[in-house]
Structure 1
Amino acid sequence: MAIQLFVPTFDVDNCLSEIKECLEKGWTGMGFKTVEFEEKWKQYTSLPNAYYLGSATAALNLSFDILKEGYDWKDDDEVITTPMTFISSNHAILLAGLKPIFADIDDTLCLAPESVRAHITDKTRAVLFVGLGGNTGRYEEVVKICEEHNLKLILDAAHMAGTRLRGEIPGKEAEVVNYSFQAVKNLPTADSGMLCFKEAEFDKIARRKAWLGINKDTYSRSTGGNYKWRYDVEYVGNKYHGNSVVAAIGLAQLPHLDMDNAYRRQLASWYDQMLMPCGDKIKFITVPEGCESARHLYQIMISDRDGLMTYLNEHDIYPGVHYVDNTQYRMYAYAAGTCPNAAYASDHLLSLPMHLRLTYEDVSTVAECVKEFLAK
C-alpha cells in the first residue's frame, strides 16, 4: 500500500453529530457553530480575539489590510518576511500595497534574527514570522527585535495549531496570529482559518471587512428586532467569513488536537532514531529547546533531494517539498540571491510522510528506503 505525505484523520461520528445540528437547526452559514468555534479557540489558545474565516489566506489578507489602514502605513512600506513559506504569506503583503523584504532563515527553517535586524530600514513597519512545520525557531529573539524597533509582529501559525513554547501557545506578543485548518493541517476541516487580533477594535473591523464591509452580519441581524434588516456598509470588503458546517468539523476535531500532536512528535522521534545513523548524509532540522512543536512536517535535507524523491516514489512512498524559496518565483525575483540559506534549503529539503495513520512499521519502511538510497 502506498505511503502518502498527508492523510487527514477525522472523528467521523462527532463530525457528523456536529454537522447534524447545523442541518436540524437550518443554520449552515456564519454564526451558530462559527461563534462556538471562536469561543473554544480563545479558550484553547488564551488569545483575546478569534474570528473564524474560510481560509488562513483570508486571515493573512485581512491582517495586512487592517494593520496598514489602522497604523497609517503607506504604499511600499516594508514588511520583513521569510522566503521559506507558502506563497499566500507573501502575496498578502503585496495585496495590501506593501513590499516584502526577504530575510534569510537559520537551521530551524524560520527567520534568522540577525538577518531580520540587518534588513530593518526607516520604511520597515512589521515582521512576518512563519512557524514552518510547527517550529517556533528563534521566535523570542524576533519578538525582542520588534519591541526594540517599534515594529508590528504578524505570526503566520498555519502549521502551529497546538505548538507550545515554554509551555504556552505563542502569539500573545504578536499584533495578529493566523491559523490554518485546511484539509491536511493538524486540525483538519474542509478548509478554514482563524484570525486572532490582539486589539478588539481590529477584530471588529475584520468582521465587517470579511462580510463585504457590512456592519451587521446575518447572525447578529437574526435577533435584531423590528429593524434587524437595516445595516450600513462601512468598507469595501470581501466575502471571507467561514460557515457553520465546516466549523462543526473543527469543533469535533479540537478535543483531539493535543493527543494528535503528541503522536506526531512520536512519529518524528521514530524518524530521528532510524535516520540518525545517516547523520553524515542527512541534515536534520533544529527544534530549539522549549519548543513543543505541532510537527505538521518532518523535514530533512540531503544533497540529492530530487533523486531521493524519485527513488521513494518508485517504492510507493510520496514525500513533498515545503517550500520553494519564494525569491525563485517571478513575483519576487527582485530578491533573488539575497537569502543563501533559504536557496540551499529550497534545493535540498524533503518532507517525509507525516500523518496520524502512519505506524511504526510505516516509518521504518520510509526510513529504510531513505537509507538504501543514501547507501547507493
Structure 2
Amino acid sequence: MDIQLFKAKYEVEECLNEIRECLEVGWTGMGFKTVKFEEAWKQYTGLPYAHYLNSSTMGLYMAVDILKEEYGWSDGDEIISTPITFISTNHAIAKSNMKAVFADIDDTMCLDPKSVRERITDKTRAIMYVGLGGNVGNYNEIVEICKEHNLKFILDAAHMTGTRLNGKIPGKEADVVVYSFQAVKNLPTADSGMICFKDGKLDEIVRKKAWLGINKDTYARTQNMGNYKWRYDVEYVGEKGHGNSVMASIGLVQLKYVDRDNAYRRTICGWYRDRLAPYADKIKFTRIEDGCESSCHLFQILVDDRDALIVALNQAGISPGVHYVANTDYKMYSYGKGTCPHAEYVSEHTLSLPLNLYLSRSDVDYICDEVIKFLEK
C-alpha cells in the first residue's frame, strides 16, 4: 500500500498534442501558448488582466514590489499576513524590505478579521490574504476592512483555482490575485503561476518587470515586421519571471477539466467527513464558510498527537502532510512568535490527509480506518 498525499493527474494525450504544436512551430518560450492561456484564464475567472509567470512565488514577489513602488510605500512599512502558509507568502513581503505583521487565524484556517483589526497601525499598507486549502474564510469581511482603512488587498490564491463564493470566483475585489499551477496544485503544470492585477497600468508594468524590465517581449517583436523590431528599451531592473509555452500548453488542457476534478475532490472530502464525524471529540475539521464551494486542495484535521499519527499512517503505507509549520518558527520571522496562539496550536496539531484524484472510496475508507484505529488506542 502506497497512498500519496498529492499525485497530479494529467490529460496526457491532450497535453502532448498541445506541447507538440509548440515543438512543430518551434516556439516554446514566452508568447504563443502563454498568450492563449492568459486569455483563457481571464475568461474562466472573469478577472480583467492576467500575466503568466514561471511560479506563483514570482507572482507574489512581483505583486508586493510593484504595489510598493507605485504607491510610494517605504522600507519597514507593514503588510498584515498569516503565519500559516507556505513561506513564499511572507518572503514576498520581506524581499521588498517591508515587514510581515502576523495576525491570527480562525477555524477556517484563514485570517481572523478580529485579529487583523488589532494589528492595523499607521504603517499598515496592505493585507496579504491566503485562501488556505481553497477555503475563502471570512473573505468579505477582510475586503471591508481594506476599504475602511484604505489598505491594498493582495489575494494569495495558490490553493484557490476553481474556488467559488456564492457562485462566483473571488478576486475582483482584490488589487492583485496570484495563482499557482505548481506540480501538485489543482491545475498542475511542472511549475507556473498567474498574476492578475485589477489596474491595467500595473498589468503593463508586471509584463516588463517579469521580463528583466524590457519593454517589448520577444514574441511581440516577432509580430512586428518593421525594420526596428530588434530595438527595445529597458525600463526597470526586473526579473526573468515569465512563463513559457510548454507549461502553458499543459495549463490550457488542465483548465478544461479543473471544475470536474475539483468536484471529485469535494466528494473525497465528503467521504472523509462522513467517516470521521463520529470522532468529533478527538478530531476537528476546517470550517467551510457558507456559500463557499472550495477547490478542496487540502483536507486538514486537527488532532492531539499529530506527530504520532503521522508515524502510524506512514507505517500503514499512507503519506499525510503538514500545512503548515507556523512561519514564526523560522528565524527571520521569529519576532512574531507568541503573537498568534491559535496559529501556533494549528501548527502543532494539523494534518493533511491524502487528497488526489487517484483515490477511490476504498482508499479513503482504508485511511479512515487507520486514523480511527489510532484514535481508539
Q: Same fold (TM over 0.5)?
A: yes
Residue 229 (str. 1) matches residue 230 (str. 2): yes
* Structure 2 match to 1:181: 181
| SS of equivalent residue, structure 1 residue 52 | strand
1:84 counterpart residue number: 84
Provide the residue aligned with 2:114 in structure 1: 114
Quick one: distance in 2 between partners of 1:310 and 1:123? 44
Whole-angstrom distance in 1 between the partners of 2:277 and 2:114? 29
Aligned twin of 2:22: 22
Encode CA deviations 1:61-108: one digit per residue, 9 max, x unaligned: 000000000100011110000000000000000111111000000000
Q: Deviations over 1:310-332 (max 9, x none)?
A: 00000000000000011111110
> Deviation digits for residues 295-340 of structure 1, max 9, x if unmatched?
0000000000000000000000000000001111111001100000
Task: Give the distance between the partners of 1:258 and 1:74, measured in 2 at CA.
Answer: 41
State the Cα deviation string for residues 200-247 of structure 1 (Å, max 9, x = none): 010100010000000000010002221100000000001000000010
> Which stretches in structure 1 are left out of the alignment for 5+ residues?
none
Name the structure 1 match of 2:376. 375
Question: 1:375, 1:275 → 2: CA distance?
Answer: 12
Partner in structure 1 of residue 294 of structure 2: 293
Look up the match of 1:74. 74
Following superposition, the deviation at residue 350 of structure 1 comes to 0.1
CA distance in 2, matches of 1:270, 1:55: 32
For 1:362, give the aligned amino acid: D
Shift of 1:148: 0.4
Summarize the alignment of residues 293-332 of structure 1 with structure 2, pairs less than 5 Å apart: 293-332=294-333
Structure 1, residues 262-300: CA drift from partner, whole Å, max 9, x if none? 000000000000001111100111001000000000000
Distance 2:30 2:365 in 1: 44
What is the one-letter code of the residue matched to 1:162? G
User: In structure 2, what residue type is equivalent to 1:154?
Assistant: I
User: Which amino acid counterpart does residue 300 of structure 2 have in structure 1?
Assistant: Q
The whole-number CA distance in structure 1 between the counterparts of 2:171 and 2:52 is 17
Comparing 215-224 and 342-351, the one that deviates more: 215-224
Q: Report whether the alignment pairs 1:197 with 2:197.
A: yes
Instruction: State the alpha-carbon separation in 2 of the partners of residues 279 and 140 from structure 1.
Output: 28
> How far, CA to CA, are the matches of 2:336 and 2:8 in structure 1?
36
Q: Distance in 2 between matches of 1:277 and 1:285?
A: 16
Which secondary structure state, in structure 1, belongs to the residue aligned with residue 307 of structure 2? Answer: helix
Letter in 1 for 2:136: T
Q: Alpha-carbon deviations, 1:117-171, whole Å to 9, x = none?
A: 0000000000000000000000100000000000000000000000000100000
Question: AA paired with 1:276?
Answer: A
Tell me, what secondary structure is at the counterpart of 1:226? Answer: coil
CA distance in 1, matches of 2:295, 2:283: 22
SS of residue paired to 1:350: strand
Query: What's the Cα RMSD here?
Result: 0.4
Q: Which runs of 5+ in 2 are unaligned?
A: none
Aligned amino acid, residue 181 of structure 2: F
Q: Partner of 1:48: helix, strand, or coil?
A: coil
1:156 corresponds in structure 2 to 156
Question: How high is the TM-score relative to the length of structure 2?
Answer: 0.99
Partner of 2:11: 11
